Structure 1
Amino acid sequence: MSELLFEIGIEEIPAGYIQPALQFLEQAVCKQFEALGLRCGQVRTVGTPRRLTLAVADLQTRQPDRRVEHTGPAKKAGFDADGNPSRAALGFARSRGVAVEDLQVTATPKGEYLVAVEDIKGLETKALLPEILAGLIRDLPFPKSMRWGRGQISFARPILWLLALYGGEVVDFSIEETKSGAVTRGHRFMAPAEITVTGFEDYLERLRQHSVLADPVERRAAVIAEVSRVVRERAGGEGAEPVLDEKLVDQVTFLVEIPWGVCGSFDEKFLELPEEVLITSMREHQKYFPVTDSDGKLLPLFVAVNNTRIADRELAVNGHQRVLRARLEDGLFFFHQDRKKTLADRRQDLAGIIFQNKLGTVLEKSERIAALAAELAR
């Protein structure tokens, strides 16, 4: 029993692609091993925007030997009354690569049939892995894929490196011009060096040392801790709390390899906007975390989670504030425009909207509904 470690190193892929890809890898490799008769222990997947990784513990080192029975023609069609083999028996034996004398007879609900027994020797797992791993790459489904260079393979983003180890030894195969090895890579900007690893636990630890939290569970906890930390630092213990929306936490987890948070602010005039507008601008558009006071009221603060630690924190904060300010200015403008007209003022605008060609305008529809409601209320 030995450990398999397989990593596909790629250009950054969209956050929404990662979890489905990891689930596919786990399910597909389990099906492959089952079909080949290979037993294994725990199957784990981890990933970031730049890597999709599969680890299989206690993978059987070779297939078990198998005995396969191939059913041929009925016994009565295979031999004549004197026991001489017919053309059917001879042809069946020849097709299975055995002597006609080695054919056996087995009883079935439909009668007795000739059987050719084949003993198949199991293959070494290491000999099977190159095609298994290459097949996983070819079969990985994505909402949108691309080709690059002169290659024919289609993938979410270009493949940069392949790490493939079984029992600590390299599983030798290639995808296009990318050859497998024992090397992974650290964070693109903070620790871009190549790293030689020996196994899954060593892989996780070496990546931590090179500014990558490969395990999404660990990275998610780090995102929450980082967001909470920068809010405490900014608010100085005044009861401010980040709004840790579960969906946003999950999205941010798959947008970064290691989280680095900054807490920014915006002009208090924007608090005039409905909370839903503010939260949507921060959470949906920018992937920022809103901040509230102890009573749940929005504060003019937000948290942005970066994928890279920037030496000039103020530069990072100002960049995020500038982007959010532009969105909120637009929101405030349209909010004021909307408030210039009452609902009653807007009613006449419905006369210019066709509801249905033979049923008139939306205004006429609303008048019919009002008449029906009045009739029902009597």
Structure 2
Amino acid sequence: MSKYLLEIGVEEFPATYIEPTKLQLEEAFTKLLQDNGVDFHALQTAATPRRLVVRIDGLHNRTEGKTTEVRGPAVRIAYDEQGRPTKALAGFMRSQQVQEDGIFTRDVNGESYVFAQKTEEGKDVKQLLRDGIPEILRHLRFPKSMKWGGRDFRFARPIRWFVSLFDDDVLPFDLEEIPVGRFTRGHRVLGSDRIEVESIERFEDQLLDNFVMLDEQKRKELILLQAERLVRERGGNLMQDEALLDEIVNLVEYPTPLLGQIPAEYMDLPDTVILTPMKDHLRYIPVLDDKGDPMPYFVTVRNGDKTGLDTVREGNERVLTPRLEDAKFFYKEDRKQPLEDYVPELENLVFHDKLGNMLEKTNRVRSLARQIGTQMGVGESALASIDRAAYLSKADLVTHMVIEFTELQGIIGGIYAKESGESDVVARAISEHYLPNQSRGALPETTTGLVISLADKLDSLCGLFAAGEKISGSQDQFGIRRMTLGVLHILISNKLDLSLDTLIRDSLYGYVDEKVLVFPYEETKDRILQFFRARLRNRLTEDGYRYDVVDSVLARRPHFIYDVILRISAVEDFLSLVNSAEILQSLTRVHTLAQKAEHADVQENLLETPEEKLLYTLGGYYDEIKEALDKASYKPALTMLAQAADSIDAFLDRTMVMVEDEKVKNNRLALLARTNELIQDIFDPASIVKES
């Protein structure tokens, strides 16, 4: 067994790019090897800001040879009456590059066919890697990429060197004349800039000798161990923020945590105003007391050793102080007038060049929020709070604080609202109306915040669709995908009985009524619904639901999202029944025949046979099933439908539908359509994949 090591040496890689790039490398190398039949024991990736590493162990030296069989023409076409090869056979052999001794015949479903047998020899794995690695690197994707040194090749940052070792010997490959060999580089300041890798096994140790800790988990554990020791000495706790910690891990090659201090004069600022400059701007880890309140300390992580730590500490404190001084000034200035006085200024802030300004958006959100609240059945008092919170929701966008610290939008608005004398309900709704800010992130906890969040997201994404903005691949400049997932997350998590069709209609009407934009209404609405449906399908399959069950339910009444989930759950329970396959087959036959019906109005006086009369009542279950469906009790409805399956089978097996008597025929078709309506109210059986 062999092993392979690839190191991609780069200029400082963006921390947020590292994990996605590692995943792409792992998937691409795995695919390269598996597609070519190469066995291997383990494939690992690792990274620091200056290198991306792939290591493969237990690697076979050659791909497995394989024999394939290709079916050609039927024997009766391949040979003439005298048994001589025809042009059809000659063409087949030529296309498969075989002679007559390389073909044979075999019966398939009662017909004899000519087959060609082709044997492919195993490939040299070294050559496979030489050819494959440049292609893998060319196809890596990043949010932003660049060219350098006159090359056509694009990458997130310039590549400066490659280490490529196969069983400790250099395995060269060609990519834009970038050096490939066995020389790596250590820490930019503390390590050597030319290290000859002795062996794959020694690679990681040699890096560590040069102040590069390759293993991300080890860097993370070291940061936590040393940082927690530092803060415990001050009686504090590290703020738990996994995303921040992961980013810091990917910013350093040789981490050394140190404790900094915040001047006391800034500790009277709101917590979020203190924390935001530290976390989001400087990547410091805040220190909290046992109540979760900020203490006058922070932890920062140096990319280096302990030399001159006091100087480094003072430098980090000096960087933080002016940011907190700015925040203190903004906080004082912004509060010289109540939050509502900022609302008129939104007229000067553009929302989108085709969709007007933020004051116009605020008015649309107010209107849409009131409609959503009404659909949810909230009372007049709650509607008044919703309207007030919606009116103030964007006011903080023109404050000094948000202009400087955009991450505080909504949050600082809630603080200013409270200090302006607004109710707790209104203030909290403003602070949480941007939630969720990721697909499954934290949700608004109040009804008022939830309603405004829905209205805000729907107004934005519907307007952007109407303005013709497009999403392509990973490009989503306006966050349409994120907003769509946020709407779905709210509807699903809160089990809201709201129609997506109605929500989108009301949102688009806001633009129609304002005459802000001329756009094809029906086409735009359909595009938005299809976009939502695709995102919903992805979410439901990620949640573990069968894709065919999801498709079967989305084929019928897809606009009430929570109702969709109820039906999916019911169908999956139904499919667990022992005889579900047979019942599905019958339901599919009913659906197929029902398509020929002109209507579903059954005339009871034309029911002639016992089987017709039994199907009419579904074995006595029809009314109960209908009542269960009206109550969205889908599991009991499908249980009763399974119990009534005998009445369906009896009709299908013993009743001729397409009889000469037109009245009887049409009545029987109507009977099937009536039955099919019940089934289709839950799911489309034809979409369920039949198990072989």
Alignment correspondent of 2:606:
none
Alignment correspondent of 1:332:
328
Structure 2 matches for 1:247-326, cutoff 5 A? 247-294=243-290, 296-309=292-305, 311-326=307-322
* 1:49 maps to 2:45: no
- Name the aligned partner's letter for residue 250 of structure 1: D
Provide the C-alpha distance between the structure 2 equivalents of 1:66 and 1:80, rounded to a whole number of angstroms.
33
Provide the C-alpha distance between the structure 2 equivalents of 1:350 and 1:178, rounded to a whole number of angstroms.
56
Q: Shift of residue 348 of structure 1?
A: 5.3
Q: Shift of residue 57 of structure 1?
A: 1.2
Provide the C-alpha distance between the structure 2 equivalents of 1:159 and 1:353, rounded to a whole number of angstroms.
45
Superimposed CA distance per residue, residues 173-195 of structure 1 (whole angstroms, 9 cap, x where no aligned partner): 12111132122211111103322
The question of whether the paired residues in 1 share the 8 Å contact of 2:64 and 2:122 is answered with yes
Alignment correspondent of 2:107:
107
Q: Shift of residue 95 of structure 1?
A: 3.2
- Name the aligned partner's letter for residue 308 of structure 1: G
Q: Shift of residue 97 of structure 1?
A: 2.9
Alignment correspondent of 1:159:
159
The question of whether the paired residues in 2 share the 8 Å contact of 1:3 and 1:199 is answered with no
The question of whether the paired residues in 2 share the 8 Å contact of 1:13 and 1:156 is answered with yes
Alignment correspondent of 2:116:
116
Q: Shift of residue 58 of structure 1?
A: 0.4
Provide the C-alpha distance between the structure 2 equivalents of 1:85 and 1:183, rounded to a whole number of angstroms.
61
Provide the C-alpha distance between the structure 2 equivalents of 1:116 and 1:188, rounded to a whole number of angstroms.
59
Provide the C-alpha distance between the structure 1 equivalents of 2:336 and 2:48, rounded to a whole number of angstroms.
47
Alignment correspondent of 2:131:
131
Provide the C-alpha distance between the structure 1 equivalents of 2:226 and 2:268, rounded to a whole number of angstroms.
29
Provide the C-alpha distance between the structure 1 equivalents of 2:344 and 2:290, rounded to a whole number of angstroms.
47
Alignment correspondent of 1:369:
none
The question of whether the paired residues in 1 share the 8 Å contact of 2:168 and 2:200 is answered with no
Provide the C-alpha distance between the structure 2 equivalents of 1:319 and 1:216, rounded to a whole number of angstroms.
26
Secondary structure at the aligned position of 1:175 is classed as coil
Structure 2 matches for 1:170-209, cutoff 5 A? 170-209=170-209
- 52-61 vs 307-316, which deviates more? 307-316
TM-score normalised over the length of structure 2: 0.49
Q: Shift of residue 144 of structure 1?
A: 0.8
- 188-197 vs 1-10, which deviates more? 188-197
- 102-111 vs 3-12, which deviates more? 102-111
The question of whether the paired residues in 2 share the 8 Å contact of 1:5 and 1:199 is answered with no
Provide the C-alpha distance between the structure 2 equivalents of 1:198 and 1:105, rounded to a whole number of angstroms.
57
The question of whether the paired residues in 2 share the 8 Å contact of 1:26 and 1:44 is answered with yes
The question of whether the paired residues in 2 share the 8 Å contact of 1:66 and 1:120 is answered with yes
Q: Shift of residue 108 of structure 1?
A: 2.1
The question of whether the paired residues in 1 share the 8 Å contact of 2:264 and 2:296 is answered with yes
- Name the aligned partner's letter for residue 4 of structure 1: Y
Secondary structure at the aligned position of 1:174 is classed as coil
Give the direction of change, closer, same or farther, for the CA distance of 1:199–1:75 in structure 2 (3 Å limit). Answer: farther
Q: Shift of residue 337 of structure 1?
A: 2.1
Greater relative CO (CA pairs within 8 A, separation 6+): 1
The question of whether the paired residues in 1 share the 8 Å contact of 2:211 and 2:304 is answered with no
TM-score normalised over the length of structure 1: 0.87
Give the direction of change, closer, same or farther, for the CA distance of 1:374–1:20 in structure 2 (3 Å limit). Answer: closer
Q: Shift of residue 13 of structure 1?
A: 1.1
The question of whether the paired residues in 1 share the 8 Å contact of 2:46 and 2:53 is answered with yes
State the identity %: 34
Alignment length (residue pairs) = 364
The question of whether the paired residues in 2 share the 8 Å contact of 1:231 and 1:240 is answered with yes
- 106-115 vs 179-188, which deviates more? 106-115
Q: Shift of residue 255 of structure 1?
A: 0.7
Secondary structure at the aligned position of 1:262 is classed as strand
Alignment correspondent of 1:20:
20
Secondary structure at the aligned position of 1:164 is classed as strand
Give the direction of change, closer, same or farther, for the CA distance of 1:208–1:110 in structure 2 (3 Å limit). Answer: farther
Provide the C-alpha distance between the structure 2 equivalents of 1:143 and 1:353, rounded to a whole number of angstroms.
31
* 1:4 maps to 2:4: yes
Give the direction of change, closer, same or farther, for the CA distance of 1:118–1:350 in structure 2 (3 Å limit). Answer: closer
Give the direction of change, closer, same or farther, for the CA distance of 1:261–1:374 in structure 2 (3 Å limit). Answer: closer
Q: Shift of residue 61 of structure 1?
A: 1.2
The question of whether the paired residues in 2 share the 8 Å contact of 1:173 and 1:179 is answered with no
The question of whether the paired residues in 1 share the 8 Å contact of 2:165 and 2:200 is answered with no
Provide the C-alpha distance between the structure 1 equivalents of 2:85 and 2:157, rounded to a whole number of angstroms.
61
The question of whether the paired residues in 2 share the 8 Å contact of 1:46 and 1:215 is answered with yes
**5+ residue gaps, structure 2:** 348-358, 371-379, 386-692
Superimposed CA distance per residue, residues 312-355 of structure 1 (whole angstroms, 9 cap, x where no aligned partner): 333322221121111100111122223434x4xx5455466665
Provide the C-alpha distance between the structure 2 equivalents of 1:117 and 1:375, rounded to a whole number of angstroms.
74
Give the direction of change, closer, same or farther, for the CA distance of 1:268–1:178 in structure 2 (3 Å limit). Answer: same
Structure 2 matches for 1:237-252, cutoff 5 A? 237-252=233-248
Q: Shift of residue 295 of structure 1?
A: 5.2
The question of whether the paired residues in 2 share the 8 Å contact of 1:43 and 1:55 is answered with yes
Superimposed CA distance per residue, residues 287-315 of structure 1 (whole angstroms, 9 cap, x where no aligned partner): 01122345544322222212134743333
**5+ residue gaps, structure 1:** 367-371
Provide the C-alpha distance between the structure 2 equivalents of 1:376 and 1:153, rounded to a whole number of angstroms.
58
Superimposed CA distance per residue, residues 230-250 of structure 1 (whole angstroms, 9 cap, x where no aligned partner): 446xxxx34233324222111
Provide the C-alpha distance between the structure 2 equivalents of 1:329 and 1:303, rounded to a whole number of angstroms.
19
Greater percentage in strand: 1
- Name the aligned partner's letter for residue 261 of structure 2: S
Provide the C-alpha distance between the structure 1 equivalents of 2:110 and 2:162, rounded to a whole number of angstroms.
53
